[in-house]
Amino acid sequence: MDPLIRDDVEPGVSGEPGLTASGVCLSDGRSGPSVSPNDPSEDDPGPDEENPVDPEFMCTPNESSVEILERLYVSVATVLSAEAANEQAAEYSTAEHTANTINSEDYAHELAFLPDLTEALATELDYSASNVRHPELSPDLQEKVVRVLKQHEQIMISSGNALPPPAYGVVCDIDVQGHPPIKQKARRVPLRHLKKLYELLKGLLTAGLVSFSTSPWASPIVIVLKKNGVDIRLCIDYKMVNAVTAIMEYAMPLADDLLTDLEKYLWYCSLDAASGFWAIMMTRRARQISAFVCALGHFEWLRMPFGLKNAPMIYQRMIDNALWGFVQPKGGWKHYAELMQSAEERDRTLREVSGATANTSTGVTKFDADLRASQAEGSVAELVNSPMADMFTNGEADASALTPVFERRSFVDDMCFGGESFEGCLETLGRLLARFEECRISISFTKSIFVQSKVDFLSHEVTRAGIRADPKKLKAITELSFPRSKKGMQSYNGVAAALVHGAEDLVIVGDSRLAIQ
């Protein structure tokens, strides 16, 4: 039997004793809320006569998804507190990893970090900040930079965690090559981490990044302790999903190529695409396959998360389409933009009508309205799931009429370019922002640097005097403890090799130590 096919889990349940279909942990003999209390499906059996749903968890007409989540949190916290008091918690294993059991490569390729959206976000663009007004520039030249940026304000995101509008021309699809759904157990979360999980999920629901799910797929949440041993990162373990996902063959850029000849310029710009992968919308099956389960419910992504196997290639392709004009949606960018804007307007009107209906009709809760709206096949969903959306399973789109903005590629969401004069650098910046506006790719205003004499790019300092590895990164490597195993040495060499312009000797020394050992 294929080890990835779980035959020990009944459809629609988490498979762990004391857990309901939504992953809520309850005492023996007590039933809990389903994912969608008034919309049972084959993935969520719902209440029955022998095991009725506690009336405490029934939705009220005006209850939103966030309010449902809050009540689930209170319920689970109460149960876990009672078990801790009775010293029952030791019977269960917890989904927690110490700081040393998960390597950094696992973070990038297999785990999707749940972003922290609880902090207050900046809402205004600060044109007086140092990343805009360089002290070496005269006031007149500084104003020229500000004017160019203000011309493209609509694609500027003031906060790094703000949700950007969906980009044109590419969507996230996941091809599992016909593999049956993999529904893993909801792993138990220690009581001391439950509030953090609740806050992260609340932020994701409020931002529209996730919704409650009835998908037959489910990946578990794991907890990664930070180096201080106290703070945590919550992640989704996509190892099983990635193992059955067809690889998207797309050539990624090499760091050496991106750094070559940058020192010949006098002025530089370093741009960071806002909120990374969240600009990519998910197809119908991608949303289902990306679903994750935890103690507070079953959720699916509405935008592309980190941790999926093909996410870097999908995002790189989107940026390449914009910068180099490789391919474009069928019919052209303008035509696709008009279709998407019309679809968004129709869906916006439909949501307003549905919201009014949920508040006035009996038998339809706001929770159900929210869930159905997120799963509805609206105009945007139809466009995203059509061949015009340029899904990789449908092959490349027709040849693009877009001309390259500049010859240098980006590295996923990090872009660096320069100019031999101030005017040349500013002209390239304006041309790039205009192209991003056409493709609706947003820029993180606070994380970008505009027309400066020095920028940081790919762990290097780039200046007119040359390129060198970031001193902070080199210091971190020199302070590493001596590796005591072959795997530790390989990890050490991998980190050092990433700083190719300033760490060659470190790699050589590392190899010599391993040979002696």
Q: What is the pLDDT of residues 117-168, one digit of tens each?
A: 665 555 688 899 999 998 889 999 999 999 999 999 988 988 655 678 888 7
Q: How confident is the model over 61-77, as a mean pLDDT?
A: 81
pLDDT digits over 8-22, tens only?
A: 333 333 333 333 333
**Statement: residue 198 has pLDDT above 80:** yes
Q: How confident is the model over 241-252, as a mean pLDDT?
A: 88
pLDDT digits over 432-468, tens only?
A: 999 888 888 889 898 899 999 998 888 788 888 888 8
pLDDT at res. 430: 94
Sequence-distant (6+) residues with CB within 8 A of 416 are 258, 262, 268, 269, 270, 271, 408, 410, 455, 457, 458, 462
**Statement: residue 111 has pLDDT above 50:** yes
Chain center to CA of 108: 11
Q: Which two tokens stand for residue 70?
A: 């809050």
* CA-closest candidate to residue 147, choices 465, 427, 459, 458: 427
pLDDT at res. 148: 95
Provide the pairing of β-strand 281-282 with 443-444: unpaired
pLDDT at res. 289: 96
CA 162 – CA 442 distance, rounded (Å): 10
Q: Which of 49-53, 220-224, 375-379 has the highest mean pLDDT?
A: 220-224
CA 288 – CA 299 distance, rounded (Å): 9
**Statement: residue 329 has pLDDT above 80:** no
pLDDT at res. 176: 94
State the pLDDT confidence band at 365, using cuts at 50, 70 and 90. low
Residue holding tokens 């996230």?
Answer: 172
Domains observed in the chain:
139-172+249-279+311-463 (3.30.70.270), 470-516 (no CATH)
Q: Which two tokens stand for residue 317?
A: 């392709």
Lowest mean pLDDT among 66-80, 297-311, 343-357: 343-357
* CA-closest candidate to residue 54, choices 38, 75, 33: 33
Decide: 460 and 499 in contact? Cβ < 8 Å.
yes
pLDDT at res. 32: 34
* Half-sphere exposure at residue 208, Cβ-oriented, CA atoms within 13 angstroms: 13
Compute CA distances 119 → 67, 122, 190, whole Å: 20, 10, 23
